[in-house]
Structure 1
Amino acid sequence: MTTALAAPATAPAPSATRRWTPSRVLVTRSAAERPYGQRVLARLEAAGVNDIELLRGDRLANLRGDGDRAAFMAAKQTLALVVPPASLRRLQPIAPSADWRFDLAQGCPAHCQYCYLAGSLSGPPITRVYADLDEALAGLDAYVGHGTVTSGSAARAGEGTTFEASCYTDPLALEHLTGGLATAVEHFGTHDWAGPVQLRATTKFDDVAGLLELAHAGRTRLRFSLNAGPVAQRFEGATSPVAARIAALGAVAGAGYPVGLTLAPIMPVDDWREHYGRLLDDVATALPAGTDLTVECITHRFTPGSKETLLDWYPRTRLEMDEERRTTKRGKFGSVKHVYPRETMSELRSWFETAIADRLPHARLLYWT
């Protein structure tokens, strides 16, 4: 099969502004036996991680700390290299993003005070890297052509069968330690698939130098999660600055990748039109002509469980989570979600749809939620 290679980068990759080094690494026995697990171990040692514990079995010991806050901080500084349960590799749809959720890892080293993982994952927020990546990639063929979110949608069928790699993690935040995203990108770019496919990943980081010359064949869409200055500065701790993410967005677009802009979580802060307008202008300036660009808009919401967890994690947060200022939405199984009132949502949506069309006229707005 003839495979298209990545286009040469039009400019040098921006230097990474932030790289996470875990204080402690736990490696289960099964993970250490996997070829990919061994490659990750070598990268961890090369990165200067000193506290690497090879476990005798496949269970992770409980993290203990002097109180919940200490346990939280210890967990956020810990990486575990594990083999996930077999059930995780029976892929599930992940609307509205993609046909299938494909996990490279679980957990994130960033400190976003609105973190949606607080309502999605239980237990200490350890970052778990999955050591079965080689086998997991080999198992994706069975899912091609069988999705309902993109491949089964007339509006998005051109994306092919899509696989979302950042549902429960930020893969670029871990890439210097794992190489997992590059491995997946090259597999998608060089494998002989039964139909059109796309790997999708979103990030709040900027360390893209290792991705620019890969044989991606246009089958990976790298999306950058961006926000207005006041939101990012106040609530997105331990991430790359927004300006650096925008520079990285421009670099990967220059390398021929289809790219995406994830505006999330949108918040109607003071002077929000001015701040978000400036953000969209900066994105438009950074992108090369002809960039294949999508936009996803996600407004801020929270659940009772996520609010409780986030207040435990970040007790001094100034994040607005006042149920009295929100509308309650209930899922079909009784789940509760607090979203902005209808009038606020309507105002936000109208402005963003117009602003995106004006400033990024070639972009495709995939969804608003």
Structure 2
Amino acid sequence: MQRSPIMDQGLAPAEDARRAPRPPRLWRPRRVVVTPAALDHAHGRAMVARLEAEGLSVERLAANRLSLPRQADPRRAYADAKATLALTVAPPTKLRLQPIPPSADWRFDLAEGCPAHCQYCYLAGSLSGPPVTRAYANLGEILDNLGGYAGRGGVTSASAARAAEGTTFEASCYTDPLGIEHHTGSLSAAIAHFGAWEAPVQLRFTTKFAAVSPLLGLRHERRTRIRFSVNARSAARYEGGTDPLDARLDALRQVAMAGYPVGLTVAPILPIPDWERAYAALIEDAADALAGVPDLDLTAELITHRFTPGSKEVLQGWYPGSDLPLDEAERSRKLTKFGSVKYVLPKPQMDAMRSAITGQIARILPAARVLYWT
């Protein structure tokens, strides 16, 4: 009997149909602007050419200061900002890297802002001004700057358990770089940079998007770990504008098959009804997606939901109808190392969830190394 491509992959037709994802979501901004300084950089000009080839109109600004039309309605101001892509130059402060525990030795930014509409967005209250997505044109300067930080990390490279990762550089603190990659090309350039960097270093990023095709043929040399931010299916209503879980898990399989080290960022872990069963189902789905991947290098990062008074105010302004649990009375009040207030899950609940979810991973997905719980 002639074998079908599905049979060659070791999947029954029904299984393949279940996994077949819809086309990845590709964000298309309503407004694109570029500053004069961005046009001084080859990457800035390349982004403009890419966007115009997509049929988008790129507005050349007269000055380097970004401005949006004033809106009396804060919801309209939010929508306008979220629909805007600005090509700018990263300021000098972006070249002074900061450690980003517990994820990585250093944080660097290819962009700032995100096109998604997550109702728990951890950028809320962290970034000043309207939530415009800014892509940085001085990419060469940003990547060249990283060399001065290799071998100097004090987070993961100083950890006996994670020192084999080398000096780690996190690229998704203030953006989702895959969500805008089709417009920028910056993430592919960063992966190629690390692939050519003959040193014990690792690029890390996490994403809620699934358009990984541009990354599959890159020479990465296993120096980039691609992590997918995932959550229980009942939390999907909080993740507007992102690719659905099945598409993310399919993309996870694709990049793992292309030889990338991969990861699951389970975040934010929420006290949803029947949470234990819901998160077990998530881990089972991930195990199914990764079944049969050769030389699998898989990590898991487990991040519980928390909020600050400032982020709560911003999020409730952005998403006034959300039922996201933001009741301080149901949380424990903690102080950060900077003295600010945050609200986290109560310790008994935190301990129960940690025990259950890490136990589920050990049982269902034993290939995964849990890097941290926070």
**TM category, shorter:** over 0.9
Please state if 1:272 is matched with 2:275: yes
Amino acid paired to 1:226: V
Comparing 183-192 and 108-117, the one that deviates more: 183-192
Which of structure 1's runs of 4+ aligned residues deviate more than 4 A? Answer: 10-15
Q: What is the identity percentage for the equivalent residue pairs of Structure 1 and Structure 2?
A: 58
Q: In the aligned structure 2, how far is the partner of 1:359 from the partner of 1:33?
A: 51
Residue 45 of structure 1 and its aligned partner are, at CA, apart by 0.9
Match of 1:3 in 2: none
Amino acid paired to 1:219: R
Comparing 278-287 and 217-226, the one that deviates more: 278-287
Match of 1:258 in 2: 261
Match of 1:35 in 2: 42
SS of the equivalent of 1:129 reads: strand
Contact 1:277 1:355 in 2 (8 A): yes
With over 3 angstroms needed to count, the CA separation of the structure-2 counterparts of 1:16 and 1:143, relative to structure 1, is farther
Residue 16 of structure 1 and its aligned partner are, at CA, apart by 3.6
Q: In the aligned structure 1, how far is the partner of 2:47 from the partner of 2:223?
A: 24
Match of 1:4 in 2: none
Match of 2:74 in 1: 68
192, 214, 217: which one aligns with 2:218: 214
SS of the equivalent of 2:229 reads: strand
Q: TM-score with structure 2 length normalisation?
A: 0.93
Contact 1:14 1:209 in 2 (8 A): no
123, 126, 147: which one aligns with 1:117: 123
Amino acid paired to 2:253: G
Q: In the aligned structure 2, how far is the partner of 1:167 from the partner of 1:36?
A: 21
Please state if 1:293 is matched with 2:298: yes
Q: In the aligned structure 2, how far is the partner of 1:285 from the partner of 1:202?
A: 20
What pairs with 1:51-200 in structure 2 (closer than 5 Å)?
52-192=58-198, 195-200=199-204
Residue 119 of structure 1 and its aligned partner are, at CA, apart by 2.2
Question: What is the root-mean-square deviation in Å for CA atoms of aligned residues?
Answer: 1.5
Q: In the aligned structure 1, how far is the partner of 2:338 from the partner of 2:78?
A: 30
SS of the equivalent of 1:213 reads: coil
Residue 333 of structure 1 and its aligned partner are, at CA, apart by 2.9
What pairs with 1:219-258 in structure 2 (closer than 5 Å)?
219-232=223-236, 234-258=237-261
What pairs with 1:304-319 in structure 2 (closer than 5 Å)?
304-319=309-324
Q: In the aligned structure 2, how far is the partner of 1:170 from the partner of 1:307?
A: 21
Match of 2:341 in 1: 336
Q: In the aligned structure 2, how far is the partner of 1:40 from the partner of 1:15?
A: 27
Comparing 118-127 and 326-335, the one that deviates more: 326-335
For residues 291-345 of structure 1, the C-alpha deviation after alignment (integer angstroms, 9 at most, x for no partner) is: 1000000000100000000000001111010000000001233200000101000
Q: In the aligned structure 2, how far is the partner of 1:75 from the partner of 1:117?
A: 14
Q: In the aligned structure 1, how far is the partner of 2:202 from the partner of 2:165?
A: 6
Residue 63 of structure 1 and its aligned partner are, at CA, apart by 3.6
For residues 250-274 of structure 1, the C-alpha deviation after alignment (integer angstroms, 9 at most, x for no partner) is: 0000000000000000012111122
Match of 1:7 in 2: none
Amino acid paired to 1:328: R
202, 220, 229: which one aligns with 2:206: 202
SS of the equivalent of 1:93 reads: strand
Amino acid paired to 2:221: A
Contact 1:146 1:152 in 2 (8 A): no
Contact 2:21 2:246 in 1 (8 A): no
With over 3 angstroms needed to count, the CA separation of the structure-2 counterparts of 1:14 and 1:176, relative to structure 1, is farther
Bigger relative CO (Cα 8 Å, ≥ 6 apart):
1
Amino acid paired to 1:283: A
Q: In the aligned structure 1, how far is the partner of 2:71 from the partner of 2:245?
A: 33
SS of the equivalent of 1:99 reads: strand
Q: In the aligned structure 1, how far is the partner of 2:55 from the partner of 2:301?
A: 37
Q: TM-score with structure 1 length normalisation?
A: 0.94
Q: In the aligned structure 2, how far is the partner of 1:14 from the partner of 1:311?
A: 32
Q: In the aligned structure 2, how far is the partner of 1:125 from the partner of 1:332?
A: 26
Residue 15 of structure 1 and its aligned partner are, at CA, apart by 6.3
Q: How many residues matched?
A: 356
Q: In the aligned structure 2, how far is the partner of 1:66 from the partner of 1:141?
A: 46
Residue 191 of structure 1 and its aligned partner are, at CA, apart by 2.7
Match of 2:5 in 1: none
Contact 1:328 1:336 in 2 (8 A): yes
Q: In the aligned structure 2, how far is the partner of 1:91 from the partner of 1:49?
A: 33
